[in-house]
Structure 1
Amino acid sequence: MKEIKSILAAYDRLNYDTQHAALATVVRVEGSSYRRTGARMLVVDDGTWVGGISGGCLEGDALKKARLAIARSKPSLVTYDTTEDDAHQIGVGLGCNGIIDVLLTPVLPDDPHSPISVLQEVVADRRQTNVLLTITKLEGELNGFEMGHIIRYDDRENLRGLGDRSFVERLEQEIQLVLNTRKSAAVSLVLDDGRELEVFAEFLPPELHVIIMGHQYDVFPLVKVIKEAGWRATIVANPQKIHREVAALVSAVVSPEDFSPTLIDDFSAVILMSHDYKTDKSNLPLVLDAPYIGLLGPRVRAERIFTELREDGILISQETGERIFAPVGLDIGAITPEEIALSMVAEIRSVFSQRKGGMLRERSSTIHER
């Protein structure tokens, strides 16, 4: 989401009378690639760009092809194959060993189906999970939809312009699979008239939201790391105890008496770090529905809290206990507040990615699923 916001901010700064732009989007990856599907780069016809579609090896060539797409006012799909020993292929010798499809779409300010227009709607609805359908292959047009257009899926009504009831049902089945697995996918279907429609169905969750319950000095490095990661942060503490530099980095500061569990959703993490035993103990029952709960301090402290809550009649089920990480953070030997912040953020990322957080060299399979 951070990259999308940067792209939208750059687009808003453009002078539409003198500047034109295209959006490059990675819509398919086969094998290894530095960036995955959904990576984006805004290219301006003056040669500048924001975002990225690789580790730097493809941007230069994509810039040239994007400017060509702008000049033609027509989207194009470019395939980069770094698996073959071909001296004419961009990326050879870099060891990427992958095939990457990049969709280059000229952006028109008055086009409601343009990728920029749809991404602006997505960012406006900050806590909504989206499936974006980007048309990557279509000969001609279909009820106003063309290659390069994006459809933001809400329900079946969004899809009626693409085909009859049977076609929409097949497409919706693919969308539900994306929602259930939380994984983007390439979808290929045949239209009633025999034309092939290929769509990049992108699972786009809201930014991770970290709710920090505490106000001590170690909150500052934590919110800085969260900000750099492009996540959202909320602090639950007395606003008068929050330094203005900290307040400037977070989305909100909520007084403890105003805190509500409704702030928590499927993409929220909670860290209890008040450095006060009674406060953490009273806060824990309020956040037991969070997908991730981190508790600062030694294991014996957490076990004492669990025991006392059980004696008070508040039972923590096995399923809930698996979502509580105490002590919080990955075991990286963190000592300073900055290093501890890094370990906590890394653990949150690993949990939401359903990974163990170990060393990549000890991983038996590929870094990314293929």
Structure 2
Amino acid sequence: MESIQQITKLLSGMIKNNDTGVLATVVSVQGSAYKREGAKMIIEADGAYHGMISGGCLESDVASSAEYIYRTGKTMVKKYELDEELVWGLGLGCPGTVEILMEPIDSSDLWQRIADIYAKQEAMVVCKILTDEESACLPFVVTKEKVIGSFSDEYLQEHVVTIARQKLNRLTAQSESICFETRTSKEEIVFFDVYLPPPRLFIFGAGHDAVPLARISTIAGFETTVIDPRPAYNTKERFPTAHLLAEDASQVNVDPQTYIVIMNHHLERDAASLAFAIKSNAPYIGVLGPRTRTQRLLRSLKDEGVVFSPKQLTKLFSPIGLDIGAETPEEISVSILSEITAYRTGHQGGFLKNRPFIHKKSQMAVENPS
């Protein structure tokens, strides 16, 4: 199954090469779905498709429906009302509906600029009106620096841009469809298709327990960097999926999408890594080992004159990971990645048992932009 990064890379390449295809995107889910709004699937001209928009029960039908998009060049929103037989395959807790936006992939100037943004891995929100078939073909794009394209309704666009900007200021903003009541009391449904660069994981330490963590984090969609000065350990053979292998922290740049795990198994290197990490822009710093050891590292740094503020220390997670009874390096890696994922998405990491929904839908509602 392709990750969102693989799908956007494929989409970008098809746009640049002027390849024919159809892009299918989940724009609305009523219920607790296996896939949420923003999930994508690309159908090529020969019927081959990439990506998943459900638990496996809708892909074939959506691929078959792509023939209409090829033939007419039109955009359409297809609604699936799920009965009991489809519920399990989609991962819903109860019957509901899923709406899929299907649109032809073209090489127009706007699509070319979207492809460029994907290729550069820059954050953006592609805004599309869903209630008007013609307008659905004319999205506009909001990045942190600019707005590309426009709606015909400037008043609506102003409010849509405001929400898109708010989403770009969040670490884990979600795609969603929002119904607006315009100044003329007309309702317009706008889909906010959020694209954020992949999160990054910096692993300080290239020991044997870092190997499964680097592998699993890459599978989970993290751009993974391993930092360790030991050339015998920090090798491409040991970490084939790593994006970067670095000798020390001076070779990397930490941003608010970077999560750090410290597991050098060496007091001095752990202390140096901790001093670097807490003062960086990373929102999460996890330290492997018991809390008493982390406290020892902090005292050692304090003795050297390195003191952290209470706010900086709130980023520190020690012991690291969710309490799942992990013992092996692989289990510990799952525990660590689970905690980081829960932190990124604002969840507590508890059991889903007896919960009515798998995911909580965003509560950002806009009733009337006037």
- TM-score category, normalised to shorter length: 0.7 to 0.9
Which whole-Å CA distance do the structure 1 matches of 2:56 and 2:159 have between them?
38
Match of 1:215 in 2: 206
Q: In 2, Cα distance between the equivalents of 1:93 and 1:333?
A: 29
Residues 123 and 144 in structure 2, CA contact (< 8 A), matched pair in contact too: no
Match of 1:185 among 164, 173, 176: 176
Q: Which residue of 1 is the match for residue 193 of structure 2?
A: 202
1:55 counterpart residue number: 55
Residues 1:91 and 2:95 are matched in the alignment: no
* 1:2 partner amino acid: S
1:369 maps onto 2:360 in alignment: yes
Match 2:130 to one of 113, 128, 136: 136
Tell me whether 302-311 or 36-45 shows the greater mean CA deviation.
302-311
Any residues of structure 2 matched to 1:132-281 within 5 Å, and which? 132-140=126-134, 146-154=135-143, 158=147, 161-163=150-152, 166-179=155-168, 182-189=173-180, 197-238=188-229, 240-241=231-232, 242-256=234-248, 258-259=250-251, 263-281=253-271
What is aligned with 1:9?
10
- % same residue: 27
Q: Give the 3-state SS of the residue equivalent to 2:276 in structure 1.
A: helix
Q: Distance in 2 between matches of 1:244 and 1:156?
A: 37
Corresponding position: 1:308 with 2:303: no
Give 1:351 shift.
Answer: 0.8
Question: CA separation in 1, counterparts of 2:20 and 2:177?
Answer: 29
2:98 maps to amino acid: I
Paired residue type of 1:223: A
Counterpart selection for 1:124 from 119, 125, 134:
119
Gaps of 5+ in 1: 141-145
Q: Which moved more, 1:184-193 or 1:345-354?
A: 184-193
For the 8 Å contact 1:33–1:98, the answer to whether it is kept is: no
Please give the alpha-carbon distance, in whole angstroms, between the structure 2 residues aligned to 1:190 and 1:159: 23
- Contact map agreement 1:234 1:250 (CA 8 A) in 2: yes
Structure 2 Cα separation of the partners of residues 160 and 118 of structure 1: 10
For residues 144 and 344 of structure 2, what CA distance do their matches in structure 1 show? 26
Q: Which amino acid aligns with 1:80?
A: Y
CA contact (8 A) 1:2 1:231 kept: no
Q: Report the Cα distance in structure 2 between the residues aligned to 1:75 and 1:167, rounded to whole angstroms.
A: 21
Check the 8 A contact 2:177/2:191 in 1, yes or no.
yes
Q: Give a deviation string over 1:85-105, Cα, whole Å, max 9, x none.
A: 7xxxx8367655222110011
3-state SS of 1:240 partner: coil
The answer to whether structure 1 residue 111 and structure 2 residue 111 are counterparts is no
In 1, the alpha carbon distance for the partners of 2:277 and 2:113 equals: 33
Aligned to 2:27: 27
Match of 1:285 among 271, 275, 278: 275
TM-score normalised to the size of structure 1? 0.83
SS of aligned partner of 2:130: strand
2:322 is the counterpart of 1:325: no
The structure-2 alpha-carbon separation of the partners of 1:164 and 1:34, relative to structure 1 and needing over 3 Å to count, comes to closer
Query: Offset at 1:194?
Result: 9.0
Provide the C-alpha distance between the structure 2 equivalents of 1:336 and 1:253, rounded to a whole number of angstroms.
24
Counterpart Cα distance in 1 of 2:114 and 2:181: 27
2:327 partner SS: coil
Q: Distance in 2 between matches of 1:270 and 1:149?
A: 40
Q: Residue 33 of structure 1: SS of its match in structure 2?
A: coil
1:119-145 CA distance string (max 9 Å, x none): 53233223x3322213423354xxxxx
The number of residue pairs the alignment matches comes to: 352
Give the partner amino acid of 2:201: V
> Aligned-pair distance for 1:256?
1.3
Q: Deviations over 1:170-191 (max 9, x none)?
A: 2222323434562333244578
2:228·2:247 contact (CA, 8 Å) conserved in 1?
Answer: yes
Instruction: In structure 2, give the amino acid aligned to 1:333.
Output: G
